[in-house]
Amino acid sequence: MQLIKDNLQACKLLEGVISRAQDAILVCIDRKSSKAFGLSSCYQSKTKIGKAVGVQQIQFFDTLGTKFQDATKRGVRIRFLTEVTKENLDNWSKVFDFGDIRQIKNTFGNFILTEKEFLLAFANSSNNSEVLYSNEQELLVEQRYVFENLWANNSNEYHHHSISSNKSVQIEEIRILYDPVEIRNKYIGLIKSATSEISIIIATPNALRRNYNGGIIDLLRDAAEIRKVKVNLVVPDISDQIHKESDKFTQISSMATIPKFQIKTIIPVTEQTNRIQTTFLLVDKESSFVIDINDDLQQDFLKAVGYAIYSASESRTESYNFIFDTIWKQADLQESLIESNKKLMNAYDGLKRHEEMEKQFINIAAHELRTPAQSIIGYAEMLNQSETRNRKYEQALLRNADRLYRLAADILDVARIESQTLKLDKSEFDINEKIRNVINDVSQASKSILEKKKIEIIFKPKESSIIVYADKVRIFQVISNLLNNAIKFVENGTITFTADKNLSTKETIVTITDTGSGIIPEMLPIIFERITGKSETGMGVGLFIAKNVVEAHGGKIQAFDNSTVKGATFTFTLPL
């Protein structure tokens, strides 16, 4: 070990140390030192000395730059530990041609270290600089250990684009945090500091649970609701976990209704894939915070976290913003695909139901058509064999022919409705008169049934005349179908019609109330669907046809089970 007090000798020694390096040159420079390695007198005459504090710390690079560049050509890696400030920002821009820089605050001395030599500068009692030189292996190993620890624990690395002669450029910061408490405080502080936008990816259900229990989700909600910060939250698929009462994932999902708060889902769940467990936070597109999870099974944030990387580096933050935007777009695409799959599945289920209904419809139609057709053939044969006229056979023949006609008409109407070719021939007419006509026709046609079942049909018009603009034949069909449907379920009771108009909604309201057996709850949702079963008078499509005719007119039809008395109520409306 050698103490050197002569500056000129120290300068030549420094140049020699750099020139002899074959593997690495490690340099630590104190920002506060007024004497750069005690060698300012060697180099200040060759460089322009500024007035700022500590400008001499790297002035000697103007002269030693060639030495450092020669070293890099030999494959020597050069690293610097120092504190970069606005005052010395210009000077450090010269270093990037030959070395890497990491920020270290409050540097404690000036030294240069190679694989074989060590040079330390310090001020003596007279405040003059002296240089200590050594090539002892034990000291070299010890000093290298010190440097490498400083390098590893101060990860604020600078790149050429991050240092500019422009004094308005901010110094970028990169820090690695190992203390869980410090990580949590930094995490919370960044969210609270956001002024315009927060983008965050929480990769696993357990991480989402920890963030919820730790109050992070509440902070995000407050940022959106109170500070009007745009929050973009990407979470794992939690649909299989919502049923757990201990989890409050439903509250998280409901936050999507908050203005400025958007939530996207990533699939598959990373808890299952075990690939990504990192939480990414981006604040105002200016800084990033990446939290690496050591044990995702832990429920306590402090026990789960491993380390975190904070960065205000423009390039690094831009990269994370790009990654986030990519994941966000992928989540959008996944949502679109899920929605499309749902629609396809619904369409497939609908086709299956339609196919089943078609089969059922064909079977019922074949059965219903066969019955009157066989009767017509049988009675016609008997009439053909009879030498005299037989009124009984003739009436039966007419009855079955009429039934066959109505069945064929229903089949044609169903076909027109499903092919959307149902046409309306509209004109003005009195709905009260049409109701009376239906009651008279049905009463004549079903006289024996009404007498046998002791059914009374009543009409109570609210006004003497209600003029509507509709297809009178089709409206006759609607009223007739509703009346015939009521007759099936009434025994020793009444069927009451009322007609009124609502001027505020500009519609006519027709109501049919019966005192029959009512509607069972299971039937209410499907009562107007096509084919609910066979009946004695048809295929069970009367209500289906009535619904579609009313809706074709722009009206509505509804069915209710009477709540206070027995029976059912049907209502339909028509625009005035």
What is the number of H-type helices and E-type strands within the chain?
Answer: 17, 22
Tell whether 319 is covered by a domain: no
Of the candidates 48, 63, 45, 55, the one whose C-alpha atom is nearest the C-alpha of residue 89 is 55
> Is residue 98 over pLDDT 80?
no
Amino acid at the residue 111? F
Tell whether 328 is covered by a domain: no
Sign of the dihedral through C-alpha 439, 442, 444, 450: negative
Which 3 state secondary structure label does DSSP give 349?
A: helix
CA distance 273 to 108: 47
> Is residue 188 over pLDDT 90?
yes
Tell whether 324 is covered by a domain: no
**If pLDDT is split at 50, 70 and 90, which confidence band does 64 have?**
confident
Residues 198 and 249 in one domain: yes
Which pLDDT does position 304 carry in this prediction?
A: 92
* pLDDT tens, position by position, 125-134: 555 567 888 8
Q: Give percent above pLDDT 90 in the chain.
A: 32
Residues 132 and 149 in one domain: yes
* pLDDT tens, position by position, 6-57: 777 888 888 899 999 999 999 887 755 434 554 555 554 443 333 333 334 4
Helix axis angle for 391-418 and 542-552, nearest 10°, is 50
Residues 182 and 301 in one domain: yes
Residues 471 and 551 in one domain: yes
Using alpha carbons only, what angle is made at residue 392 by residues 388 and 393, rounded to the nearest 5 degrees? 70
Other CB atoms closer than 10 Å to residue 76's CB: what's the count?
19
Tell whether 41 is covered by a domain: yes
Average pLDDT for 523-527: 88
**If pLDDT is split at 50, 70 and 90, which confidence band does 200 have?**
very high
DSSP string, 471-501: -HHHHHHHHHHHHHHHHHH-SSEEEEEEEEE
Residues 23 and 145 in one domain: yes
Average pLDDT for 420-440: 92
> Is residue 410 over pLDDT 60?
yes
Counting every residue written for the chain, the total comes to: 576
Query: Backbone phi, then psi, for 290, in 5-degree steps?
Result: -115, 120
Residues 416 and 447 in one domain: no
Q: What is the largest CA-CA distance in the chain?
A: 152
User: What is the domain range of residue 385?
Assistant: 345-421
Structure tokens at 519: 């509607």
Which pLDDT does position 157 carry in this prediction?
A: 55
Which pLDDT does position 369 carry in this prediction?
A: 67
Tell whether 168 is covered by a domain: no
Tell whether 321 is covered by a domain: no
Tell whether 322 is covered by a domain: no
- Report the range of poorest mean pLDDT among 87-91, 122-126, 230-234, 439-443: 122-126
CA distance 339 to 336: 5
> Is residue 167 over pLDDT 50?
no
Q: Are 54 and 34 in contact (CB under 8 A)?
A: yes
Of the candidates 314, 329, 252, 259, the one whose C-alpha atom is nearest the C-alpha of residue 284 is 314
**If pLDDT is split at 50, 70 and 90, which confidence band does 389 have?**
confident
Q: Residue 380 belongs to a domain with what CATH number?
A: 1.10.287.130
Tell whether 169 is covered by a domain: no
Of 138, 162, 186, the position where a domain reaches its end is 162
Of the candidates 439, 527, 436, 558, the one whose C-alpha atom is nearest the C-alpha of residue 487 is 439
> Is residue 548 over pLDDT 80?
yes
279-283 and 118-123 beta bridge pairing: unpaired
Could you tell me which residue, 167 or 241, shows the higher pLDDT?
241
Which of the listed ranges 57-66, 153-162, 485-494 does the model predict with the highest average pLDDT? 485-494
- Report the range of poorest mean pLDDT among 87-96, 109-118, 204-213: 87-96
Rounded to the nearest 5 percent, the helix, strand and coil shares of the chain are: 45, 20, 30
Residues 457 and 532 in one domain: yes
- Report the range of poorest mean pLDDT among 197-201, 209-213, 228-232: 209-213
Of the candidates 152, 83, 75, the one whose C-alpha atom is nearest the C-alpha of residue 115 is 75
Start-to-end CA span in the chain (Å):
110
Of the candidates 422, 413, 416, 409, the one whose C-alpha atom is nearest the C-alpha of residue 369 is 409
Of 265, 288, 312, the position where a domain reaches its end is 312
Other CB atoms closer than 10 Å to residue 373's CB: what's the count?
15
CA distance 379 to 392: 9
> Is residue 269 over pLDDT 90?
no
Which pLDDT does position 335 carry in this prediction?
A: 78
The mean predicted confidence, pLDDT, of the chain is 79
> Is residue 382 over pLDDT 80?
no
> Is residue 339 over pLDDT 70?
yes
Residues 72 and 131 in one domain: yes
Which pLDDT does position 443 carry in this prediction?
A: 92
CB-count exposure of residue 488 (10 Å: 0-12, 13-18, 19+): middle
The total domain count for the chain is 4
Residues 39 and 136 in one domain: yes
Residues 409 and 472 in one domain: no
Which 3 state secondary structure label does DSSP give 465?
A: coil
Of 134, 162, 190, the position where a domain reaches its end is 162
Q: Residue 136 belongs to a domain with what CATH number?
A: 3.30.870.10
Residues 136 and 188 in one domain: no
382: Cα separation from own chain's centroid: 74
Residues 10 and 154 in one domain: yes
